Structure 1
Amino acid sequence: MKTVYSPLHALQDAEAEFIRGKRVPSFEMPRRAELVLAQVKHVFGDETIEPRDFGTEPLVKVHDEALVAFLSTFWDRWSAENGPVDAFPNAWPPPRSHRLRTQRIGAELGRFCIDMSSPIMEGTWRAVSASANVALTAQALVAGGERAAFALCRPPGHHAGRDYFGGYCFINNAAVAAQAFRDQGAARVAVLDVDYHHGNGTQDIFYGRNDILTVSIHADPILEYPYYTGYADEAGEGDGHGFNLNLPLPWGTRFDAYGEALDVSLSRIASFGAEALVISLGVDTFDGDPISKFKLRNADFSTIGRAIARLGLPTVFIMEGGYAVADIGINVVNTLSGFEDGFAK
């Protein structure tokens, strides 16, 4: 399986984030991608390729143009006003307030950003656009005949919605890849999110559509980020009603229960009649992940990969979360290897 990777991800290297009032070292660090890449090369050999540049046109097909323009021009405005310091929002529009464009860049930051985990710095846009190009290049490989490809995206993307970013995510790489399949002729596309956290951004982007099915297995948002979305009763709206499936699970979930939710997910994707599949591959479901509370083991990720392969679909794996850095490469590659083993059978 070919892996698409860009070293430009390292330009997003946040010194810190804020969690429950504490300033802590950022869990979303460049080392995550570097360790995954090392394990990919160890197991699959060096089949890595660099991404092509697709520009911003694919991005504005799933995101508001205002968000893309904001992210791509933010740093010059911010640094001119505040100096070369990482940008965190310090004000957000409250409910029932105007969400009009303001004249202060800090206020604009709060208009688009949903939390304090995702600082913007000088290299953020280059890293973010490279990550989207990684996803699009992997999608192009699969659309061109490859059975599957792995997009080693960083920053991740599944928390980025139509007009907002957060949760370490700026552009929704999985949504960009899914839309590319549609644009190239796939009548129906499925996105399966196996990250510990709900893929709120992906849900937001496709919530009113019936051509892209979104399925997410995640920790119950009554306890976990993103808190305000990801509940089982969120099924889509308008034409999209019935085309969004959330499977929230409790803290402490082990693979027996997780596997049942995975079976439900795969059955729904099969009945949907998807012609292509995008996997938001988060491995923060691992027992030992520092910010998560599921109990999956290394071998469980191989089982996940084999199960996904049973669908027999052209598949793009998009890297999302996973913060137990000692095991992140093992768990990612176990998923990919399991998929290849399952497809071979």
Structure 2
Amino acid sequence: MRLYHSETTKVRRAQTELHDGALVPPFECPERVDLVLAGLEERGLGEVCAPNEHGLAPVLAVHDRDYVAFLEHCWTEWQAAGHAGEAIPNIWPARTLRGDRIPDSVAGRLGYYALACETSICAGTFEAAMASKDVAVSAVDHVLETGTPAFGLCRPPGHHAASDQFGGYCFFNNAAIAAQRALDAGRRRVAVLDVDFHHGKGTQQIFYARDDVLVASIHGDPAVTFPYFLGYADERGEGAGEGCNLNLPLPPGTSMTRWVAALDEALAWIREGDCELLVVSLGVDTFAGDPISAFRLESDDFLEVGRRLAGLGLPTVFLLEGGYAVEEIGVNVAKVLSGFERG
């Protein structure tokens, strides 16, 4: 399996996250990258390659241009405005406020483009997001050119990022960028399967009214789990995309037996959709020891996850999403990929 990684993904080193009413060191940290690399190396899973640089074109294929410009300049503007800490939003265009005007103030635009307030913007954020996108694009390009699988060690992750909003540690939606890249290369229909504990609301939003990308997600029930306001089973797509979105929410405490039944349902749905490529949003925060999740998969379960994904028989690209039990993240990612290679 071809593996892609860029050291530039680690230049984002945020110091603050709002969690349980306190500012804490972010769960999404650069050390995750080193642990995944160690896990891949220990199991000899393949050659680690540096990605090519792909510029902004793949980003702008799925993201709003003004939003991208905001991310590029936010940290510089935030500092120029005299703010001492990292850029954290404190107001949004909520239900009783106007959402049709983008403020001139960087603090106002921060709230306009933010989905939530747990994710701060700091030095290196835009550069890391660009590198993460390059990892995703290089990985999918390899799959498109060779038909053989690839893994993109994306950091920051991407599946929460909507066309014009960031949050959940995500800035550019790597899975959406990869899926669009495949379509632009001539693939007729692509599937995105999100196995992260948290619903990939950004991926759903980007493709919700389209029928050329099927989006399936297995995740914690949004009635009790972040992101709360998207990810319900009745969200099936709209317009041309009606029937092209599948959400399989599960309750806290879900074990492998129930989770893998949902996986089989998602795989059967994708198989019926006549797709030509599979993009896996690979979150391993379904692990029982994850500090901000509530499923109960064990490390050995991830081998079976990989094996079942291989059974779909599609050219496949894996892109890293969540997984915050940092001591185990490398083991769990490696087991998914090992299971896939064993088939």
Q: 1:84 to 1:145 in 2, by over 3 A?
A: farther
Hey, what does 1:25 align to over in structure 2?
A: 25
Hey, what does 2:174 align to over in structure 1?
A: 173
| 1:98 Cα deviation from its structure 2 partner | 2.4
CA contact (8 A) 2:13 2:123 kept: no
Hey, what does 2:154 align to over in structure 1?
A: 153
Hey, what does 1:58 align to over in structure 2?
A: 58
Instruction: Show structure 2 runs of 5+ residues with no match.
Output: none
Corresponding position: 1:43 with 2:49? no
Equivalences, count: 342
Measure the CA separation in 2 of the matches of 1:148 and 1:84: 45
CA contact (8 A) 2:198 2:227 kept: yes
Measure the CA separation in 2 of the matches of 1:25 and 1:232: 33
Using structure 1 for the length normalisation, give the TM-score: 0.97
Using structure 2 for the length normalisation, give the TM-score: 0.98
Hey, what does 2:88 align to over in structure 1?
A: 88
Amino acid in structure 2 at the alignment position of 1:227: Y
- Please give the secondary structure, in 2, of the residue aligned with 1:305: helix
Measure the CA separation in 1 of the matches of 2:149 and 2:309: 11
Hey, what does 1:307 align to over in structure 2?
A: 308
- Please give the secondary structure, in 2, of the residue aligned with 1:245: strand
Corresponding position: 1:265 with 2:266? yes
| Deviations, residues 47-70 of structure 1 (Å, cap 9, x unaligned) | 111111111111111111111111
| Deviations, residues 265-290 of structure 1 (Å, cap 9, x unaligned) | 00001000010000000000001111
| 1:130 Cα deviation from its structure 2 partner | 0.4
- Please give the secondary structure, in 2, of the residue aligned with 1:216: strand
CA contact (8 A) 1:84 1:122 kept: no
Hey, what does 1:68 align to over in structure 2?
A: 68
| Deviations, residues 201-236 of structure 1 (Å, cap 9, x unaligned) | 000000000010000000000010000000000000
- Please give the secondary structure, in 2, of the residue aligned with 1:117: coil
| 1:82 Cα deviation from its structure 2 partner | 2.2
| Deviations, residues 286-314 of structure 1 (Å, cap 9, x unaligned) | 01111111000111111000000011111
| 1:84 Cα deviation from its structure 2 partner | 6.1
| 1:162 Cα deviation from its structure 2 partner | 1.0
Q: CA RMSD in A?
A: 1.1
| Deviations, residues 137-189 of structure 1 (Å, cap 9, x unaligned) | 00111011041000000000000001111000000000000000000011010
Amino acid in structure 2 at the alignment position of 1:147: T
Q: 1:79 to 1:183 in 2, by over 3 A?
A: same
Counterparts of residues 194-205 of structure 1 (less than 5 Å): 194-205=195-206
| Deviations, residues 111-146 of structure 1 (Å, cap 9, x unaligned) | 001112211111110000000010000011101104
Runs of 4+ in 1 over 6 A off after TM superposition: none
Identity of aligned residues (%): 49
Measure the CA separation in 1 of the matches of 2:46 and 2:159: 27
Hey, what does 1:296 align to over in structure 2?
A: 297
Amino acid in structure 1 at the alignment position of 2:203: T
Amino acid in structure 1 at the alignment position of 2:235: E
- Please give the secondary structure, in 1, of the residue aligned with 2:18: strand
Q: 1:46 to 1:192 in 2, by over 3 A?
A: closer
CA contact (8 A) 2:45 2:334 kept: no
| 1:20 Cα deviation from its structure 2 partner | 3.1
Hey, what does 2:228 align to over in structure 1?
A: 227
Instruction: Show structure 1 runs of 5+ residues with no match.
Output: none
| Deviations, residues 53-99 of structure 1 (Å, cap 9, x unaligned) | 11111111111111111111212211111256311011111215323
Q: 1:172 to 1:266 in 2, by over 3 A?
A: same
